[in-house]
Amino acid sequence: MGGTNGASDGRSAAGRALRNAGKLTLGRTGQGVMGFAAIALAARALGTDGLGQLAVLQSVIAAVAGLIRFDTTATVVRYAGGIDGTGEPARLGRLLRFAAGLDGLAALAASLVAVAAVALAGPLVGVPPDLGPVALVYAAGAGVLVLRGTPQGVLQTFDRFGLAAWASVLTPTVRVVGAAALWAADFGLPAFLWLWLGSQVASRGVLIALALRVAHAAGVLRREPGDARGTRDREHGIWAFAWGLNATRAFALVTQHGTILLAGALLGPAGAGLVRVARAVGEVVRKPVQSALSPAVLRELAQQMAAGLSAEQRTTVRRTAATGAVIAAAAFAVVLVAGKPVIEAAFGADYTAAYPAAVLLALANVGSIALAPVRQLIVASGRMVYVVGIPAVGTTVQITVLTMTFLEWGVIGVGIAGLARVAVGAVLLLTGARRIARDQAVPAG
């Protein structure tokens, strides 16, 4: 099976990681295209006010789910890498049940918090009172968003990235079909809320069913007598790992939203708008490439690390980093040459002041994407002082530089801060990777 015991040489592992990243990229591209179409249809049907209310509610539940959920995908992939899928199916099954339990608790908490947020703060952010119970039921769907981590982890662990990519397109596809029908029938916002929630429930149901089928075929769902020790006892540091990944996601949210908020506070609304445009153009490939490359690389590195294949790890990191850097460098060249006319055509001449910042962000992304496999090596190691400490330092540096450069030079500060974070991150990541390699070499000596 394409399970947890497939560690191999660095070249084949890197090739497999890149193929899997390609599958995820196709899925995310389809997701983006269909999602854009769904929003366009909703805009036609609801008008600006209705679409804005839908967007606000969606932002509330997405933010709550993002803050509360555990990254059980990475947890499953990392710890499954150390389990022999043929010899210890019961142990892997316990790991999956542990992760599913975390998802369930986080889903319940997310639903309760989102419902409370909409009930208490909904009118303040433009949610009309007449939506009433429909808005609260929709908010409860925050829990559904959380229930993707363990199923995704199962599919990635057993090398079923194609299924994961296919499942990611299901939600926006259902929304496109449903939105077209609702627009034709002249339905309003409540119907769209039910459609958005129903599509999410349906796609999560399909994802869970696919994961159960794969796990059942691998024989890891059977409960076996014998070893009574739980996952916390067998998988060293799993709680610290899960909470540590939550902390890193919090740092990412601070950077993502704090940059715009800081720009608004220091540069005013116009400056915040320019920063938003600079990020939209300069970071156009960072999120899709990193979100596809990182999980594919983590699977290979986790298995190689568990097998003690340190030389193969280095090959995997170098080959995937080089490929990511080439893609990012091509994007940088496009932004450098065509960024200004693209900004003028898409956003208007007033926004061309964002071009220099967009160029610097695109340059920073070359380094950021090239370093993505090194980050996954750190994650695979489970060294939480690096997993949490490096993004904490990077976030601190970025916010500090943002504050100074916004005050001194304006919008271009977002690009300077991006370069500063990548430079500091490169030093820390490479230092951490060298120390991990040195520690791996000690037993062999």
Distance CA 361, CA 357 (A): 6
Decide which of 376 and 39 is more confident. Answer: 376
Distance CA 114, CA 104 (A): 15
pLDDT digits (tens, 9 = 90+) for 167-210: 888 999 999 999 999 999 999 989 999 999 999 999 999 999 99
- Give the type of residue at 286: R
pTM of the shown model = 0.80
Residues ≥6 apart with Cβ < 8 Å to 184: none
Which range, 86-90, 158-162, 283-287, has the best average confidence (pLDDT)? 158-162
CB 114 within 8 A of CB 57: no
- At 66, list the tokens: 């993002």
Mean pLDDT of the region 60-78: 86
Burial group, residue 444, by CB count within 10 angstroms (0-12, 13-18, 19+): exposed
Quick one: residue 226, left, alpha or beta (phi over 0 = left, psi -120 to 50 = alpha)? left
- Alpha-carbon distances, residue 314 vs 13, 349, 367 (angstroms): 11, 46, 18
Taking the chain, what is the end-to-end CA distance rounded to the nearest angstrom? Answer: 34
Mean pLDDT across the chain: 85
pLDDT confidence tier of residue 113, bands split at 50, 70 and 90:
very high
Decide which of 5 and 188 is more confident. Answer: 188
CB 289 within 8 A of CB 324: yes
Distance CA 433, CA 111 (A): 39
Mean pLDDT of the region 2-17: 66
pLDDT digits (tens, 9 = 90+) for 30-64: 887 888 788 888 888 888 778 777 877 887 788 78
Mean pLDDT of the region 78-96: 76
Q: How many CB atoms lie within 10 A of CB 126?
A: 12
Decide which of 416 and 231 is more confident. Answer: 416
The pLDDT, as a whole number, for residue 445 is: 45
CB 281 within 8 A of CB 411: no
Give residue 88's Cα distance to chain centre.
Answer: 30
Mean pLDDT of the region 221-235: 61
The b-or-e profile of 323-362 (16+ CB within 10 A means b, else e) is bbbebbbebbeebeeebbebbeeebeeebbbbbbbbbbbb
Burial group, residue 201, by CB count within 10 angstroms (0-12, 13-18, 19+): middle
- pLDDT at residue 230 is higher than 70: no
Mean pLDDT of the region 256-267: 83
The pLDDT, as a whole number, for residue 86 is: 47
High-pLDDT (> 90) share of the chain, %: 37
- pLDDT at residue 232 is higher than 60: no
Sign of CA dihedral 205, 208, 210, 216: negative
- pLDDT at residue 224 is higher than 70: no
pLDDT confidence tier of residue 228, bands split at 50, 70 and 90:
very low
Give residue 134's Cα distance to chain centre.
Answer: 29
Nearest alpha carbon to residue 106 among 138, 76, 144: 144
Domain boundaries, the chain: 10-234, 238-440
The pLDDT, as a whole number, for residue 312 is: 86
pLDDT digits (tens, 9 = 90+) for 397-430: 999 999 999 999 999 999 999 999 999 999 999 9
Nearest alpha carbon to residue 422 among 370, 372, 382, 364: 364
The pLDDT, as a whole number, for residue 231 is: 58
The pLDDT, as a whole number, for residue 444 is: 47
Nearest alpha carbon to residue 192 among 280, 200, 75: 200
Distance CA 411, CA 358 (A): 10
Distance CA 69, CA 64 (A): 8
Report CA dihedral (389, 390, 396, 402) to the nearest 10 degrees: -170
Distance CA 110, CA 112 (A): 6
